[in-house]
Amino acid sequence: LPPYQVLPASVSMEELPRSTVVLEEPPRPPRDHLVWSFFTTLYGNFCCLGLLAFVFSVKARDRKVLGDYSGALSYGSTAKCLNIVALVINIVIVVIVITVLA
């Protein structure tokens, strides 16, 4: 960096060129789907998929706190997939039970 120089008294700040600084947005932290996994564990825990989703959500939250966004994204997407699979299986089971009992 160049050394700083004292500004002469005859020069005002308005006459000097203005510098522009581009601020980048920090990356959005990935989602961990913890609440969804919690409710899947409570209400739709077919073959322990909800519990596995909850475990991966907690791991994603831990990685997010540590600043490892790639690890958090990986664990979060795994939790999301497990939640979706558990939801689809539960919907299929409910439809089958309704059609058999009706």
Write the pLDDT tens digit of every residue in 7-33: 777 777 777 777 766 678 877 889 999
Closest CA to 58 of 75, 43, 41: 75
Residue 102 and residue 84: Cα distance in Å, rounded?
A: 27
Mean pLDDT over 40-68 rounds to 92
Q: What ranges do the domains of the chain cover?
A: 34-63+74-101
Write the pLDDT tens digit of every residue in 89-100: 999 999 999 999
Cβ-proximal residues to 72 (8 Å cutoff; 6+ apart), any chain: 29, 30, 32, 60, 61, 63, 64
Per-residue pLDDT band at 1 (split at 50, 70, 90): low
Cβ-proximal residues to 5 (8 Å cutoff; 6+ apart), any chain: none
